[in-house]
Structure 1
Amino acid sequence: MPNHPSPPGSLSRRALLTGTAAAAGIGLAGCGSVSGGLSGKTRVKQWNLLAGADGAVMTEMHDQFSSEHSDIELEATTFGWGTPFYTRLVMGASGGNASDIATIHLSRLKSVSPATLLDPITVDELQAHGLDPADFPEKIWEKCFVDDELYAIPIDTHALVNYYNRTMCEQIGALNPDGTLLETTSVEEYFDLLRAAKELTGQYGTSLDTLGGWRQFWAWYRQADGEMTFTDGDYEMDDDKALQAIEVMYRMAEEGLCPTFADGGQCAANFENGSAAFVQVGNWEINRFRAFNEAQGLDFSMTEMPNFFGNRRTQGDCHSYVLPRHNSWDPEVREATIEYASWMLQHSFRWGEGGGHTPAYLPVTEGAEYQALQPNAEYSGVVQNVQFDPDAWFSGSAARLFDETGSIFNQVYGLAMTPDVALATIKERIETLLSLPNPVD
């Protein structure tokens, strides 16, 4: 399933964009960085995979950037989410003629062979444009390095979060005096909330995307301190903790506390139409629910994932800027490219407000304006709790591990596969993936 399911009627991230955007993409895949052109401006070519509601916010920010930088001609192109985008990026970079800057998932950094397909960035370049390593969460900043070279600039944190219907939660006594959700500290405490919500709705306690089960699995597995590491054709995984996480998913469906099947669209619709008082889905759905609230009324808020095993860790990722490899860099283009990245981060309050993502740039997220922003401030702690997928060429957002385990977890939620069989099947899939070569290498 797409990382950011789009509202009904909008273009899916998995569909490669057509029309002017796609045509522009073909035109941009030409030669290396060149300043000037017919406009006399310094042209910066940007590629991204943001085709949902957050993409509209990005376009708005691009318009503002262009209005404030009359000497820079920004050409932004959006490709289909996932495989279409990464294929285009790898093909362009391998020939040294991709965009000047691209937006990728930080979990995919190592899988795109940065030493050969990306150009490193210097801290001096960033500092010259007002950015500093101290401006980013330490653990996210560290993930931007490969072999001591800086290859990425983090834009945000986006993660699996817990939305709740305040009207329904008030009716079941699940709100604090300030209107925020009561915090639970175990599986059973949270299941009790879901049982009360199910009794109220007559259908489910919570909704979720049964095809995107990797997200829930990884959240619960990491909450239990489960580790998964891949090295030289082998891997380590804690079977007991993995089974525990899958059993939680199975029990939730078995009790009827969540749907036995719901894709991304139905997952959100269950929350909108009152079939569930909660929904576990990404923070990127905030605009969809805001629009529904304005049209039909939906008093909702959102918080971090519930504490099942001693903490509130959750599956997530970061959008990040990278510089695809160039045969040669025009100094003016390089300068304008870093200026673009710096400006976007320094103005990322709008990115958080409109797109729901938590900006990685700490001067924004730690500022009074963002801390007063609701409901964003209520889940801002997710930056410290986000858990990246394990490092492997087949892991990360839009990668094969997510997709291939998704069909297994869908059967778990559908009660068609028991947790022990699911775990064995997941291990078989991992072993198969380990036997395959990285296609980028």
Structure 2
Amino acid sequence: MKKKKLLGVVLSAALAISSLAACSSGDSASGDEANGDSKKITFWTPFSGADGPRMKNIVKNYNESQDEYQVDMQIVPQSDYYKTVDVSFSGQKNAPDLMIMHTDQLTNYVDKNLLKDLGETVAEAGIKPEEYSETAWKAGSIDGKQYSIPLDIHPLIMYYNKDLFKEAGLDPEKAPTNREEFLDYTKKLTDESKGQYGYVVPTLWPNQFIYPTIFFQNGGELIADGKPNYNSPAGVEALQFMTDLIHKYKVSPQNVQQDGEVTLFLQGKNAIQFNGPWMMEQWDKAGINYGVAEVPQLGTEQQAVYANGHNFVIPASVDNKDKLAGINDFLKFTAENAMEWAKSGQAPASKAIYEENEEFQKMVQQPIVAKSFEYAKFAPRVANWGQVSEPLWAEVNLALLGKKDPKQALDDATKKAEQIMK
């Protein structure tokens, strides 16, 4: 799922709240409280895409597995999700008992004391940290307290067109693993006379995943000593490499508009695509003969990949013991039965699935995603990362469009981000 910035409480959020019942599978949370139904758990998710039915199935299977608790899953559209969450935290009655939260949003709400410390929940549910990816579990640990239970990690991954590989004389079962190989492959895959390119560099989304990946691979940190570090040597080198793909190596067309790289991949004119696991269903429906691989080490220092994650969190206001017991039971069930979630293209963070499940290991994409868990990197642990990073994406866009020198663009992004943090 694409990450969304934390936004303020606005009128559209109120409208989203009023329409929540229409996109839910049951009554609103306020109705539950009014009826004193402490065995009903209201569960909010932003899964309004192809992954929604997968989570609905998990909830359905849980509800059918026992008769003590009832989980009521309510889908809030991704575009309205955090605005709606903010409304619920601002004092509205219809707040959820359990919700999904992206890893890059956790700090925003923990800093405001809006999320429950799940130490007691973890103990009572019999949930153990070692049952999950260490990377995913630590992402929810802030100042020694555990505020989330991970559902998945969704890192950047590489898709490639096997048919184009064959035509270029490349082994369709072998993807590039480093910068040298990547440049060699993309040059061989580029044929401007056909309008075909080895790798189409996007100028907008999903650069929020691509640029930080190369930045981290260069050994850099986006925030250092509490300050934006965008114009560090690691950052400048990463952006220079990306612009060189367009202007020096010419393996990409110029001035790619939003989703232009996706369109060309669907048309068989873009051989390599960096994107998230959520793209799998679109490629399948299009009938593309594609391969999946870990993102090559395009940076100079280490293997790394930028990622986000879906996590279960509980609002700090939830203190009903029956509800908490039901939530504990549901979370344990989900960890043990997350193969349904894997069918969405994601790799669940539960080791019972990604390490031990034979069906999971036979999947084409999901084991590749899980291989990235060990070296996945998340957004910096700062409040309002969405706002602090906004100047970075704007300036990266200008550099890739050839409107600014990479160093100047990152100098400007750093100055703007510093002002925001002040």
Fold match (TM-score > 0.5): yes
User: Following the alignment from structure 2 to structure 1, what is the Cα–Cα distance between the partners of residues 361 and 35?
Assistant: 40
Once the two structures are superposed, the pairs formed by residues 320-359 of structure 1 within 5 Å of their partners are 320-326=311-317, 329-352=319-342, 354-359=343-348
Q: Percent identity?
A: 18
Contact 2:186 2:199 in 1 (8 A): yes
Aligned-CA RMSD value: 2.9
User: Following the alignment from structure 2 to structure 1, what is the Cα–Cα distance between the partners of residues 198 and 208?
Assistant: 20
Contact 2:26 2:74 in 1 (8 A): no
Q: 2:203 aligns with which of 210, 223, 230?
A: 210
User: Following the alignment from structure 2 to structure 1, what is the Cα–Cα distance between the partners of residues 88 and 25?
Assistant: 11
Q: 1:171 aligns with which of 161, 167, 174?
A: 167
Contact 2:388 2:421 in 1 (8 A): no
Structure 2 counterpart of 1:288, which letter?
Q
SS of the residue aligned with 1:316?
strand
User: Following the alignment from structure 1 to structure 2, what is the Cα–Cα distance between the partners of residues 109 and 302?
Assistant: 30
* CA shift in 2, pair 1:22/1:69, >3 Å: same
* CA shift in 2, pair 1:35/1:181, >3 Å: farther
Contact 1:17 1:78 in 2 (8 A): no
Structure 1 counterpart of 2:291, which letter?
S
Shift of 1:100: 0.6
Once the two structures are superposed, the pairs formed by residues 42-121 of structure 1 within 5 Å of their partners are 42-81=39-78, 84-95=80-91, 97=93, 98-113=95-110, 116-121=113-118
User: Following the alignment from structure 1 to structure 2, what is the Cα–Cα distance between the partners of residues 107 and 209?
Assistant: 22
Match in the other structure for 2:354: 365
Structure 1 counterpart of 2:239, which letter?
I
Alignment partner of 1:252 is 2:252: no
Contact 1:207 1:267 in 2 (8 A): yes
* CA shift in 2, pair 1:31/1:144, >3 Å: farther
Contact 1:34 1:330 in 2 (8 A): no
User: Following the alignment from structure 2 to structure 1, what is the Cα–Cα distance between the partners of residues 404 and 268?
Assistant: 28
Shift of 1:283: 1.3
* CA shift in 2, pair 1:130/1:33, >3 Å: farther
* CA shift in 2, pair 1:231/1:78, >3 Å: farther
SS of the residue aligned with 1:154?
strand
Deviations along 1:322-363, one digit per CA (max 9) or x if unpaired, are 00121x5221111111222222222112212x2222211011
Q: 1:306 aligns with which of 291, 296, 306?
A: 296
Q: 1:158 aligns with which of 149, 154, 158?
A: 154
Structure 2 counterpart of 1:413, which letter?
L
SS of the residue aligned with 2:242?
helix
Once the two structures are superposed, the pairs formed by residues 350-429 of structure 1 within 5 Å of their partners are 350-352=340-342, 354-367=343-356, 368-395=358-385, 399-429=386-416
Structure 1 counterpart of 2:332, which letter?
S
Structure 1 counterpart of 2:131, which letter?
D
Match in the other structure for 1:438: none
SS of the residue aligned with 1:405?
helix
* CA shift in 2, pair 1:56/1:24, >3 Å: closer
SS of the residue aligned with 1:47?
strand
Shift of 1:400: 2.3
Contact 2:17 2:84 in 1 (8 A): no
Shift of 1:155: 0.7
Structure 2 counterpart of 1:64, which letter?
N
User: Following the alignment from structure 1 to structure 2, what is the Cα–Cα distance between the partners of residues 104 and 363?
Assistant: 22
SS of the residue aligned with 1:318?
strand
Contact 2:396 2:410 in 1 (8 A): no
Contact 2:136 2:152 in 1 (8 A): no
User: Following the alignment from structure 2 to structure 1, what is the Cα–Cα distance between the partners of residues 92 and 143?
Assistant: 21
Shift of 1:133: 0.9
Match in the other structure for 1:192: 184
Contact 1:411 1:417 in 2 (8 A): yes
Shift of 1:245: 0.4
Shift of 1:261: 4.0
The more displaced of 208-217 and 150-159 is 208-217
* CA shift in 2, pair 1:23/1:105, >3 Å: closer
* CA shift in 2, pair 1:207/1:70, >3 Å: farther
Q: 1:144 aligns with which of 140, 151, 157?
A: 140
* CA shift in 2, pair 1:3/1:198, >3 Å: farther
SS of the residue aligned with 2:159?
strand
The more displaced of 102-111 and 370-379 is 370-379
User: Following the alignment from structure 2 to structure 1, what is the Cα–Cα distance between the partners of residues 328 and 258?
Assistant: 35
Instruction: State how many pairs are aligned.
Output: 406
Shift of 1:127: 4.9
